[in-house]
Structure 1
Amino acid sequence: MSNDAITNESETFEIGTTAVHRLGFGAMRLCGEDIIGAPDDEDDAREVVRHAVDCGIDFIDTADSYGPAVSEQLIGEAIGDRDDVLVATKAGLLRNDSGDWISHGDPDYIRNQVLTSLDRLRTDTIDLYQFHRPDDDTPFEDSVATFAQLKDEGLVHAVGISNVSAELLDRAREQVEVATVQNRYNLNDRGSREVLEICADDGIGFIPWAPIDADDLAEHGGLLDDIADEHDATRRQVALAWLLERADVMLPIPGTSDPAHLESNVAASHLSLSNETVQRLTEAAD
């Protein structure tokens, strides 16, 4: 890894009462293959986390189901409870060895999981605790109310929700102040456009999961290549830069386990896209 690491130049956004750079780091890929078990080299994984912080990333997103437990453990070991880094995690999904993601929003389960996450992250209070996905077997309000109670009890600073519709977002806001929403959104997938608009209007952070993927890049490859050539950049960097320009509340969290890939993602914060270029990309999938 370079000792002269590129720095995060994205603008800042307040999550709860904490200002973070809008370009963050998604820690799902720190785990083993298919997000199950430990990585081949845990020392390398911990070093990637530390390198992200060295590059100016002060917002890291993870979940108790990544591994499960592996990603949180590695982050806790790598950086502990730093005042200058906001670590967000999630509860509400189970993970089995077949690779299934199973919704589980039972209040007692969430209360148990917050304790395990606190232990693994080596902190007394989780900076941002997110409900990972609604559970058809548990009333949505009951799950969200549990997150609100954890905040009232001081175990959580801020509450977020994930994988929700506009209607569920409204219902959650009746239970607790929602600091962030984490939904799938990228250049090619605009399914959460309505939710993003609500977040932009009301100052709620919007964390796009899968901010870039192979389908996204391939679908608009020609346009991305043209813009990338103009900026001496890569397709991925252009896609990330577009997200940062798309809305002031947008908080992309590209993930990787490779230091060079990490630096390339951070370099996207240096790109300055014209309004015309942003519009061309915006209209590409609208």
Structure 2
Amino acid sequence: MKKIEVLLSSYNGEAYIMEQLNSLISQTHEAWNIRLRDDGSSDRTLEVVEARQTEFSEHIVWEKGANIGVIPSFFELIRQADESADYFSFCDQDDVCLPRKMERAIQSLDTVDPGIPAMVFTSTQLADNDLNLLGLWPDKPLKSPSFYNALVQNIAVGATVTFNRAALQLIRRRMPHMSHVLMHDWWFYLCVSAFGEVLYDPEPSILYRQHGGNAVGGEVSKIAKLKKKWASFRKHRGTHKLVAQAREFHRLYAGELYDAEKLGQLEAFIEPRTTVMQRIRYLKHSKLYRQSKLENLLFRVLVLIGYI
């Protein structure tokens, strides 16, 4: 039976982590273990985990680490992951995994040659703090997942992502500088889409709890979605973080990216554009895209005015 290692980073999660642990115990797939790194919690998170130690026995390995932040914490888990597992799954402390999450992920990834980096992600079932259902998020991608999308947009919700050993090895052999990574799940989407296969399963795999303290959260209404996307662009105004992440990818992987079209689009994206004419010329030849027409229009406007 294929084995999944769950990579769970916790931080002050005593209110929610018990429900998450219960959801892992209730999985229809039975061959799994948890690798938990606590990111310097000041509450009773680890006491809750310790209370379940006997029940989990060999299924859990955990450590209390320094508070380094969500992105470095997940990359530390990636460093520590046990390569004897077949698949690996990101997990957040405050969500609830639906019973067939592991089973369906394995079914998807088993369709890919194990030597090819591969990941699968799903939609989520949004829920409020008490797990009352709110709706599905995000919408099904209008366009296929690809490297040209991953350079400018992340569509893979991290807590739904499961990946194979080849993807783990791809990331581990060239670990990025954390300051250039927008989010661990986005980095996986970028790297795996460059060298392997990104799969999408429309069936939700988690209850994605919305409680105001999420590192990243979902939205149901179109107006809320647009406000969130605009706020994200404004947050990174003048910092060119999309380009910085792409440059970090180029630094690490350009020598291995033998697809000339992908390499050309990457290098065009990271090239400086100091004048309006340079930006117009770039947009004329760019194949990069976001998932909706409105988002694409916003992306092009932001390139023209020098945001990106």
User: What's the TM-score once normalised by structure 1's chain length?
Assistant: 0.27
TM-score, structure 2 normalization: 0.26
Greater Rg by CA:
2
